[in-house]
Amino acid sequence: MRVFQAAPRHHPVGKRGTARLRVVYFIQSHGKAELLPRLVRTLLAGSPEALIIIGHDQCVGPIDRAILPPSGDIRVRPRDEPVRRGEFSCLEPYLEAAAALRDADEQFDWLVYLSGQDYPVRPVSEIERTFATGDVDGFVRYWDVLSPDSPWGTKRAIRRYFYRWRRLPDWFRLPLRLVKAFRYVLPIETSFVYGVHLGTRLREPPFDDRFRCFGGSQWQSLSRPAVEVLVDSLRERPDLVDYFRQCLVPDEALVQTVLINSGRLRLANDNRRFTDTEEREKGHARVLVTDDFDRLTDGSFDFARKFDPVLSRELLDRLDAVVHAQA
């Protein structure tokens, strides 16, 4: 679905510094939904006026509305096309929701991007107070992908964002593994991390000294001005959207690239999220357990992931004592 073609509208932004903002929580759900009701209830308990939007991948099965709280502004945006990790479809539900909010006659001040395996680690009202009283337009983790400070390394960044990648049927895996042996003499690359992909190096990527490629974490919290810059910029640059559709892992670069290069926003280089992917196969986040409690609640983070309904049960119960405390 192409969502960046409608004419943008302008809507007033809530006052910075007010005691209470209207926050939209976009929850991307494309797996089992056991934790979803608990997450939604906790968000609404701390922010009764919040709008909860659930972007759900129908390909893993429909979501049962009966599991969600009966009260509160909760909206489900079902997606009929599969969400595939490492591809544009992993970011598209969020961009579609941001575009819909940009065009709607609806007041909101912040948009918080969560997964269905996230959970707050401090009171939601306290998190929103940080949004209201802060002097930034967003909390986004980012870095120049070609700089020495990038944790990815130059080779990984170039493979992801300076190649055109095509997804191939799984039966191509064996023949491409044979081709991989000749990658030093052929102008191609192969990737098997997110399925079977074949890549060719681009001679003229859209990046230069004036428009650099930035990467970072998929999950962020953006003020309404930042959401408007993101949506309007993508509508003005459909070529950039098309370019990132053919990259690997665009969810970890497109938003950062647009927001940082705009030069119009004050962004904290910290998304205030805890995720442990160190030495994890294919970058999967480690399931959090009780031993993580002290680290999660030291004040550095707003949300953490990922939680498992069984393995993280004791940790979630302990977090509830903190999250539901009077902020």
Q: pLDDT digits over 54-82, tens only?
A: 998 888 878 888 888 888 999 999 888 88
Question: Average pLDDT, stretch 185-198?
Answer: 84
Spell out the residues 6+ positions from residue 56 whose beta carbon is closer than 8 angstroms to its own: 29, 30, 33, 62, 63, 76, 77, 78, 79
DSSP summary character for residue 132: H
Helices (H) and strands (E) in the chain, counts: 10, 15
Whole-Å CA distances, 153 to 118, 144, 193, 254: 27, 10, 17, 18
Q: Is the pLDDT score of 180 beyond 60?
A: yes
Helix (H) or strand (E) holding 221: strand 221-223
Question: Average pLDDT, stretch 107-125?
Answer: 96
Q: Is the pLDDT score of 16 beyond 60?
A: no
Angle at 293 between CA 285 and CA 315, to 5 degrees: 80
Mean model confidence pLDDT for the chain: 88
Residue 14, pLDDT score: 44
Indicate whether this model's pTM tops 0.75.
Answer: yes
Q: pLDDT digits over 312-327, tens only?
A: 999 999 999 999 986 5
Q: Is the pLDDT score of 185 beyond 70?
A: no
Q: Is the pLDDT score of 175 beyond 90?
A: no
Q: In this structure, are residues 24 and 106 in contact, taking their beta carbons and an 8 Å threshold?
A: no
Whole-Å CA distances, 164 to 39, 79, 307, 327: 37, 25, 34, 48
Edge-to-edge, what's the strand order for the sheet holding 303-304? 119-120, 303-304, 273-274
Question: Average pLDDT, stretch 186-213?
Answer: 89
Residue 65, pLDDT score: 81
Instruction: Write out the two tokens for 250.
Output: 């665009």
d(CA 186, CA 184): 6
Edge-to-edge, what's the strand order for the sheet holding 188-191? 163-168, 196-201, 188-191
d(CA 259, CA 266): 10
Q: In this structure, are residues 130 and 37 in contact, taking their beta carbons and an 8 Å threshold?
A: no
Angle at 105 between CA 101 and CA 107, to 5 degrees: 70
Q: pLDDT digits over 219-244, tens only?
A: 999 999 999 999 999 999 999 999 99
Q: pLDDT digits over 268-308, tens only?
A: 999 999 999 775 556 678 999 999 999 999 999 999 999 99
The distance of Cα 62 from the centroid of its chain, to the nearest Å, equals: 22
d(CA 310, CA 179): 43
Residue 243, pLDDT score: 97
Residue 1, pLDDT score: 35
Q: In this structure, are residues 219 and 113 in contact, taking their beta carbons and an 8 Å threshold?
A: yes
Question: Average pLDDT, stretch 184-210?
Answer: 86
Q: Is the pLDDT score of 10 beyond 80?
A: no
Residue 54, pLDDT score: 95
Residue 165, pLDDT score: 95
Spell out the residues 6+ positions from residue 179 whose beta carbon is closer than 8 angstroms to its own: 186, 188, 190
Q: Is the pLDDT score of 17 beyond 90?
A: no
d(CA 286, CA 116): 15
The percentage of residues in the chain with a pLDDT greater than 90, rounded to a whole number, is: 68
Q: Got the DSSP string for 51-93?
A: EEEEEEEGGG----GGGS-SSSEEEEEEE-SPP-TTSGGGTHH
Residue 282, pLDDT score: 62
Residue 189, pLDDT score: 86
